[in-house]
Chain A
Amino acid sequence: MKTVIEARELFKEFPSIRAVNGVSFTVGEGTCFGLLGPNGAGKTTTVEILEGILSPTSGEVLYRGQPLGRQFREEAGIQFQSTALQDFLTVSETLALFDGLYSRRSDLSDLIHQTALSELLQQDVRKLSGGQRQRLLLAIALINDPTVVFLDEPTTGLDPQARRNFWNLIEQIKAANTTVILTTHYMEEAYVLCDHIAIMDHGQIIARGSPRDLLEAHFDDVILQLPMEDWSLTAEEIGFSVLSTGDTVEISTRDVSGAVKALLDHGVSLDQLRIRPRTLEDLFLELTGRELRQ
């Protein structure tokens, strides 16, 4: 698989903080690479260095083996976490503006259809809803028929329907062999969309691989969930690792039948017992901690 993007030993220092601390990875052609991490982990700074918006303090980014240059600008599509658009323009005029900035072009009517903007073309961009606006920003990111697309938290603030709709759009982009680099807070999103992920914390990559490989490498257990109201034991009494998360108690174990037997032996009601496999969210919390970040 050809490497499209390569980050080599990236460092980025601001006056009061080192935001990126020695980040290196490669992204293969046609894959979706997810960059995950808690707030302040350095994801957006890293992505903006990859996009050529920020210069690294040291290190370099290569696009198809070459430093970022005009070819990259022509062939990359970018959707920032938040983007202002020119006031008083309609959706159609905004698309025309960005269409005019590239020599590479997508089929505009296909793009409008793909991003479901047909009914909004004459709408003032200031009057779009959150989901409509995100679709427009994605259309702008795709307007040059990019070979690599950067999506920085594209579904933050969207309702579940809009988020699912957005996932479908990204699946379509992937299907066209376009490389996608995605940052997100949503673990389910990363699991569904990404072929490879990197989890960042304190400016460093602390885990990297395919979601399935990472889960297999870090966990060999499952989680038994019970409502707190049915729970009256301590971890010592039950003999398993127990975690209380608000209204729920979670027991992690490799021996499901043994754990269930122990619960029954202690008279715990299993009426509302749920058994689930480990998720990316478990991995994320295990690697980055559960404490609230400042």
Chain B
Amino acid sequence: MIRRFIAVFHARNMEFLRDRSSLGWNIAVPLLLVFGLALIFAGPDRPLFKVALMSVEKQGQTITHPFLQTRFVDFIPVTDRETTVHKVARHRIDMLLDLRPPARYWINPESPKGYLLERVLAGSGGPPVERITAPGAGVRWVDWVLPGVLGMNIMFSCLFGVGFVVVRYRKNGFLKRLHATPLRAVEFIAAQIVSRLLLILLITIGVYVATSYLIGFRMVGGYLSLLLVVTLGAVAMIALGLLVAARVTSEELASGLLNLITWPMMLLSGVWFSMEGTHELLQLAANLMPLTHLLEAARAIMLDGATFGEVAGHVAALALMTVVFMSLGAALFKWNPD
């Protein structure tokens, strides 16, 4: 039994060691992971809460308050109160604090973090601060996070459902067989995109309807606008999956590359938490990700009732990404494994 185990163990190890792309990937991933984690979490203790702080100077003198000494709170200096109050209402900031007389804070009563901060502020021993409910508040955490969850599902389905399948087709020779026909790369790619798009739209609509029925959530914008944004976002991510799969022949490498793309998107695109107050480089990176634009546009439509025209910037970003990913994918596309 041991001999058989050793034989199979040795053969698998040799296969792994000689598959240079997989080996390289397995070395590269931990390094990239360390680098990425360092970038995101380097520095002092990671804050749990985000408090926007209006100017704390009055006639050249700095206003102090014991609450400002609270650990694990990221105090983000802001100047535009109206914009920041809106962010509080949309869970992007947990609290807005203005200590200039009359000292006030704005809170979303539906925010769990806002509630905790409010308790900490009250117990900090400082002078009293007037409580104001952020106008337009009432957006629950679930309202904010639901577009993120739907977007994440779209992302995984589009990237893995297309990228992985194409690599498998290439590896087992099915692509080579198709190459022997008049089929063009762009026709093959277009068919993959439309097939996955229809599937993901049906699934997303189903999840949306079921979630709406079971728990209910905020939807104040137009359904057509939302459908167009979701469609464009899905196409952009399918095109990205096809770009990843354009030349890869190893399923292990494809899996690694897809994880390299999906994990940062999941962390930086605002699925679970807002990128408000994070390092500029991270925010720049987030803006290069299709999921970020899909979620920003979807949340604007669902939570604020934005029109299609009002999310035109995100739509343009998604359209541009789609064109770039598809063009590169078609240009780099390889039918044969060798």
Contacts and interface: CB of A to CB of B under 8 A. Distances in A.
Nearest to B336: A53
B140 interface: no
Contact of A103 (B173, B174, B182): B182
A73 interface: yes
B336 A70 contact: no
A80 B183 CA distance: 17
Interface string B312-338: 000000000000000000000001100
Contacts of B183: 101
A86 interface: yes
Contacts of A70: 182
A102 B181 contact: yes
B174 A101 contact: no
B176 interface: yes
Interface in A55-102: 70, 73-74, 76, 78, 80, 82-86, 98, 101-102
Contacts of B169: 84
B173 A101 contact: no
B284 interface: no
Interface string B163-179: 00000010011101111
B182 A83 contact: no
Contacts of B176: 53, 80, 83
A51 interface: yes
A19 to B, nearest CB: 11
- The size bracket of the interface on B is 10 to 19
B249 to A, nearest CB: 13
A74 B172 CA distance: 24
Contacts of B336: 53-54
Interface residues of A, number: 19
A84 B181 contact: no
A101 to B, nearest CB: 4
B180 A80 contact: yes
A84 B180 contact: no
Nearest to A83: B177
B201 to A, nearest CB: 22
Contacts of B179: 53
A102 B178 CA distance: 11
Contacts of B178: 101
A82 B182 contact: no
B181 A83 contact: no
Contacts of B177: 78, 80, 83-85
Interface in A189-232: none
Contacts of A102: 181-182
A109 B169 CA distance: 29
A254 to B, nearest CB: 48
B179 to A, nearest CB: 6
Interface of B: 169, 172-174, 176-183, 335-336
10 contacts: A53-B335, A53-B336, A74-B182, A84-B172, A84-B173, A84-B174, A84-B177, A85-B174, A86-B174, A102-B182
